């Protein structure tokens, strides 16, 4: 009985040692994964910073003016502001305002009808 107990304790100790080594290897593997993800995150942050720089650069007035000149767009300065508008855009703006007024009048009319229908149902 004494030898079997010693073998049992020895087997338990060996099993625990194997478990500790396996657990340590898992921790090291997870550490490598974390390092790789951090590196990937830093690369994405740098890429995002560069893209934001390019977007700001493309939105700059100098670049926009250069593109307007290179495409030879017919632009006319506004009288009341310092901005610029394209020729024919004033007519487009008037048409849009008329369409908005018509759609808002239409929606008010339908709301009025739906309200009167609702009230007639309750009476």
Residue among 75, 77, 95 at smallest CA distance from 87: 75
- The model's confidence at residue 47, banded by pLDDT at 50, 70 and 90, is very high
Query: Which residue ranges make up each domain of the chain?
Result: 1-59, 76-123
C-alpha separations of 85 from 5, 60, 90, 98, 105 in Å: 94, 17, 8, 19, 29
Structure tokens given for 45: 């942050």
The predicted model gives 90-107 an average pLDDT of: 54
pLDDT for residue 120 is more than 60: no
> What's the predicted TM-score (pTM) here?
0.45
Using CA atoms, how far apart are residues 110 and 44, in angstroms rounded to an integer? 51
Location of structure tokens 């020729």? 87
């Amino acid at each position: 009985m004494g030898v079997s107990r010693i073998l049992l304790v020895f087997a338990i100790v060996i099993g625990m040692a194997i478990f500790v080594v396996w657990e340590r290897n898992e921790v090291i593997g997870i550490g490598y994964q974390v390092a790789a993800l951090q590196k990937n995150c830093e690369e994405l942050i740098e890429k995002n910073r560069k893209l934001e720089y390019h977007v700001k650069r493309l939105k700059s007035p100098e670049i926009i003016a250069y593109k307007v000149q290179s495409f030879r767009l017919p632009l006319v300065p506004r009288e009341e502001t310092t901005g610029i508008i394209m020729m024919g855009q004033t007519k487009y703006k008037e048409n849009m305002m008329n369409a908005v007024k018509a759609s808002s009048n239409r929606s008010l009319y339908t709301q009025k009808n739906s309200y009167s229908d609702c009230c007639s149902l309750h009476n």
